[in-house]
Amino acid sequence: MDQTEIERLGDALYAAMCERRVLPPLTETHPDLTIENAYEISLRFLANRLNAGETMIGKKIGVTSAAVMDMLGVRQPDFGFMTDAMRYDGVMPISDALIQPRAEGEIAFLLSKDLQGPGVTNADVLAATEALMPCFEVVDSRIRDWRIKIQDTVADNASCGWFALNEAAAVCPNEIDLANCAMTVKKNGEVISTGTGAAAMGSPVNCITWLANTLGSFGIILQRGDIVLSGSLVPLEPVVAGDKMTLHIEGIGDCSLAFA
């Protein structure tokens, strides 16, 4: 795929986000699309956001659990970039901007050191992590009806929507059994899902290690100060204005979010 088409598709995804509309799957209109092409498209999408005044504050890995893989029909993780405009704590006005939002519960890592792959280990990740925080990510897709393959979601910035953190609940990673810590998610007061850290590639630490090494192959560093979302421990949940969700992570704490 030539550079002109890569830029056109990145611009089209950015326009779809701004105008709250969807596109047909890129893998249908461009059946030769590779993951490398998709990554280049995502960088063009990101450049549009940064040129509009947003600031990059972190990265994310997605589609890490079997439940989410089964739901979306994607068989490997995706990865994307997060900006300051994606963060909404407390109240999230999804009806103003998002298209087809779905919420998921995650553990966010705050980095105190750079991580640059290849060769990053789990021990490196833990040594570079200042704190863990409970997190909701509300994913969204500019691809019609979530009919995505891995190339579609990578190009679409890993289907990023917005996210929320509870920084007051930040804890040291050495205090937590990340593979076995339990998460409980409630929607409008009712428990809708439970999971453990093992749902995310065996442990959220494995996810961050994979992300550091995968991005490293593209020359991208997980940087000191980055907030890194490590993937959902529970299935995705569609949300609409008026919904309220809470999650509790054993040993870490709670995060609450109201949708408007």
Q: What is the pLDDT of residues 117-152, one digit of tens each?
A: 999 999 999 999 999 999 999 999 999 999 999 899
Cα distance between residue 101 and residue 63, in whole Å:
15
How much is the pLDDT for 65? 74
Domain boundaries, the chain: 3-259
Nearest to 47 by CA among 24, 13, 21, 20: 13
The pLDDT tens digits for 70-108 are 767 777 788 899 999 999 999 999 998 999 999 999 999
Taking alpha carbons only, the member of 163, 144, 158 closest to residue 215 is: 158
Residue the block writes with tokens 């990023």: 160
pLDDT of residue 75: 73
Q: What is the pLDDT of residue 69?
A: 74
CB–CB of 207/64 below 8 Å?
yes
End-to-end CA distance of the chain: give it in Å, rounded.
40
Mean of all residue pLDDT scores within the chain = 94
- What local confidence, expressed as pLDDT, does residue 164 receive? 97
- The pLDDT score that the predictor gives to residue 76 is 78
And the tokens for 246? 């809470």
At 64 the pLDDT is: 78
Q: Which residues in the chain come in under a pLDDT of 70?
A: 71
CATH superfamily of 3-259: Fumarylacetoacetase-like, C-terminal domain (3.90.850.10)
pLDDT value for 236: 92
pLDDT computed for residue 62 by the predictor: 82
pLDDT of residue 202: 93
